[in-house]
């Protein structure tokens, strides 16, 4: 039988759509052996690199940067339009409507602390103890009900229903994580919000880890509030947002007071009389971060225009990563709901016999790979998951992928872990100031830090 020889055109596989480019994609970093290698940033869940579109947009805005809302100058008018346009972009990005407010904050932590201060008196708050500290800690007092780590997505739905049945009559708020920052697993948000609605509860969604990876639709998910962070969304310029219902925010005084939050201040002799600004300005005291808001809006627009490519890119890399990690002897991955559950590009694990901090240090010093080790500001969740996995320590290693990740990075981290397990570290390490580091570390800092 004669085999047909394909033509050159037939041999060419269709090119996958390119994902948006990030700053630092061509960054080289030094190793302890004196070589330099391209940096493999596998720590996107902590802080994502800046999108090129965001960097360019910030450069374009900076000559026009000025005060907003109260400036008569033309640059101030431009900056005000930029700032208010960013609200519209954020509203569209999460599928909110015109009645929802957008308050610019510093990050998800700031957003959820703001919402906590706005709760009506005696509001019952129900949340899972698997939350990131940003969503776990702002709610205080006897009306806070923590639900223990569920064994499955179905158990989470049943546990929430049981917890809400036990809460007193009155205003209620359910706080949910959209995607775990420890395991990357996507929570059953729609099913949980349906339970909350049956009990007359509102829902606040910590979307810090989901927003960079998947589209969010506040109406389809049936949630009332969405909190997110620019530094997770490829816009590391110090801005986050709280998007959602305005009534509780309108009914409360600002927890940060100052210029912009006040419509009028009068001297009543023994005290000051204050009329607060309308929402959202009431909760944005001080000079707004115009550059940060613009950066966040541009990042949201860029992702929204490229969701198909973004999701396909990350799913392919995550599949490759998980297959590769499964070949590393003694590696134990952490999971809430099981290996087959939907997840974004986050994998946490331990390696038998090697402390997680040492694993991270070796990957950095000997292979130019950036990962995270620790309990990931989700101490309760991480410790419980480590116990489930039979790990002997209270820390894990986390690999998190995103738009700055390439297939070569995945291959490199898998090969590095296999080498570490087989042969151990290539140089001597010790704990210095609480962290593992090479005993002799010749890696030079960049020139701008050398002075």
pLDDT band for position 226 (cuts 50, 70, 90): very high
Which pLDDT belongs to residue 424?
98
Contacts (Cβ under 8 Å, ≥6 apart) of 378: 130, 131, 132, 133, 136, 180, 181, 182
CB-CB contact of 175 with 123 (8 Å): no
Per-residue pLDDT for 443 more than 50?
Answer: yes
Nearest-angstrom CA–CA distance, 86 and 298: 8
Cα-only R_g, the chain: 24
The two three-digit tokens of residue 308, written as one number = 């198909």
For residue 106, the Cα-to-chain-centroid distance in whole angstroms is 13
Per-residue pLDDT for 450 more than 90?
Answer: no
- CA 335, 341, 346, 347 torsion-angle sign: positive
Give the CATH number of domain 20-49+307-438; options: 3.40.47.10, 3.90.1150.10, 3.30.930.10, 3.20.20.70: 3.90.1150.10
Per-residue pLDDT for 229 more than 50?
Answer: yes
Which pLDDT belongs to residue 389?
84
**High-pLDDT (> 70) share of the chain, %:** 96
Q: Which residue has the higher pLDDT, 44 or 393?
A: 44
Which pLDDT belongs to residue 10?
38
Catalytic residues: 377
Which pLDDT belongs to residue 16?
54
- Find the mean pLDDT for residues 86-115: 97
CB-CB contact of 208 with 232 (8 Å): yes
Beta bridge partners of 298: none
- Find the mean pLDDT for residues 70-92: 96
Nearest-angstrom CA–CA distance, 20 and 36: 25
Nearest-angstrom CA–CA distance, 134 and 402: 22
Per-residue pLDDT for 323 more than 50?
Answer: yes
Tens of pLDDT, residues 382-438: 999 999 888 878 899 999 999 999 999 999 999 999 999 999 999 999 999 999 999
CB atoms within 10 A of CB 421: 17
- Find the mean pLDDT for residues 260-283: 92
- Find the mean pLDDT for residues 38-50: 98
Which pLDDT belongs to residue 13?
40
Per-residue pLDDT for 451 more than 80?
Answer: no
Per-residue pLDDT for 303 more than 90?
Answer: yes
Give the containing element (helix H, strand E) for 370.
Answer: strand 369-370
Nearest C-alpha neighbor of 34 from the set 408, 390, 374, 438: 438
Mean per-residue pLDDT over the chain, rounded: 94
Tens of pLDDT, residues 169-197: 999 999 999 999 999 999 999 999 999 99
Residue ranges, CATH 3.40.640.10, the chain: 52-304
Which pLDDT belongs to residue 269?
85
Residue ranges, CATH 3.90.1150.10, the chain: 20-49+307-438
- Find the mean pLDDT for residues 52-61: 98
- Find the mean pLDDT for residues 207-219: 98
The two three-digit tokens of residue 84, written as one number = 């208010």
Nearest-angstrom CA–CA distance, 254 and 281: 10
Nearest-angstrom CA–CA distance, 411 and 110: 37
Q: Which residue has the higher pLDDT, 1 or 56?
A: 56
Nearest-angstrom CA–CA distance, 252 and 276: 10
Lowest mean pLDDT among 14-28, 66-80, 345-359: 14-28
The two three-digit tokens of residue 175, written as one number = 């706080």
Which pLDDT belongs to residue 2?
37
Q: Tokens 């490519």 belong to which residue?
A: 309
Give the CATH number of domain 52-304; options: 2.102.10.10, 3.10.129.10, 3.40.50.300, 3.40.640.10: 3.40.640.10
- Find the mean pLDDT for residues 116-133: 96
Nearest C-alpha neighbor of 50 from the set 445, 407, 448, 402: 402
The two three-digit tokens of residue 162, written as one number = 């049981």
Per-residue pLDDT for 1 more than 70?
Answer: no
Nearest C-alpha neighbor of 364 from the set 426, 447, 449: 426
- Find the mean pLDDT for residues 144-165: 95
- Find the mean pLDDT for residues 319-348: 97
- pTM for this one? 0.93
Nearest-angstrom CA–CA distance, 303 and 213: 9
**Which whole-number Å values give the CA distances from 436 to 208, 348, 355, 360, in the listed order?**
29, 18, 9, 8
The two three-digit tokens of residue 414, written as one number = 């898998």
The two three-digit tokens of residue 179, written as one number = 């995607």
Q: Tokens 């997505």 belong to which residue?
A: 153
- CA 37, 43, 46, 47 torsion-angle sign: positive
Per-residue pLDDT for 146 more than 60?
Answer: yes
Beta bridge partners of 88: none
Per-residue pLDDT for 376 more than 50?
Answer: yes
């Amino acid at each position: 039988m004669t085999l047909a020889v394909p033509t050159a055109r037939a041999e060419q596989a269709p090119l996958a759509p390119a994902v948006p480019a990030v700053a630092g994609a061509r960054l080289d970093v030094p190793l302890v052996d004196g070589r330099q290698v391209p940096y493999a940033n596998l720590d996107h869940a902590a802080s994502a690199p800046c999108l090129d579109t965001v960097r360019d947009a910030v450069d374009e805005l900076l000559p026009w940067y000025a005060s907003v809302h109260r400036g008569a100058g033309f640059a101030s008018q431009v900056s005000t339009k930029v700032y208010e346009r960013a609200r519209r972009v954020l509203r569209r990005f999460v599928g909110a409507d015109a009645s929802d407010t957008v308050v610019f904050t510093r990050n998800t932590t700031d957003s959820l602390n703001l919402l906590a201060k706005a709760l009506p008196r005696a509001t019952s708050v129900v949340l899972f103890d698997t939350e990131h500290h940003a969503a776990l800690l702002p709610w205080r007092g006897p009306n806070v009900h923590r639900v223990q780590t569920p064994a499955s997505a179905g158990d989470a739905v049943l546990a929430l229903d049981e917890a809400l049945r036990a809460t007193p009559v009155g205003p209620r708020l359910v706080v949910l994580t959209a995607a775990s920052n420890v395991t990357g697993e996507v929570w059953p948000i729609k099913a949980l919000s349906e339970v909350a609605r049956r009990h007359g509860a509102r829902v606040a969604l910590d979307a810090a880890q989901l927003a960079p990876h998947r589209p969010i639709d506040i109406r389809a998910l049936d949630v009332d509030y969405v909190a997110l962070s620019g530094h997770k969304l490829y816009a590391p310029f110090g801005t986050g947002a709280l998007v959602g219902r305005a009534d509780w925010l309108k009914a409360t005084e600002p927890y940060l007071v100052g210029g912009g939050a006040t419509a009028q201040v009068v001297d009543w002799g023994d005290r000051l009389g204050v009329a607060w600004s309308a929402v959202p300005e009431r909760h944005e005291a001080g000079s707004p971060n115009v550059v940060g808001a613009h950066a966040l809006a541009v990042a949201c627009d860029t992702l929204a225009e490229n969701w198909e490519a973004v999701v396909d890119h990350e799913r392919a890399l995550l599949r490759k990563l998980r297959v590769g990690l499964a070949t590393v002897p003694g590696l134990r991955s952490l999971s809430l709901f099981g290996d087959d559950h939907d997840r974004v590009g986050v994998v946490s694990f331990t390696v038998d016999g090697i402390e997680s901090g040492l694993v991270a240090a070796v990957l950095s010093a000997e292979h130019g790979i950036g990962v995270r080790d620790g309990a990931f500001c989700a101490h309760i969740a991480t410790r419980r998951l480590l116990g489930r996995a039979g790990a002997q320590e209270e820390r894990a290693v986390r690999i998190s992928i995103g738009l700055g990740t390439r297939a070569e990075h995945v291959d490199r981290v898998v090969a590095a872990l296999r080498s570490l397990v087989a042969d151990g570290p290539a140089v001597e390490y010790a704990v210095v100031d609480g962290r593992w580091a090479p005993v002799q570390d010749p890696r030079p800092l960049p020139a701008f830090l050398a002075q």
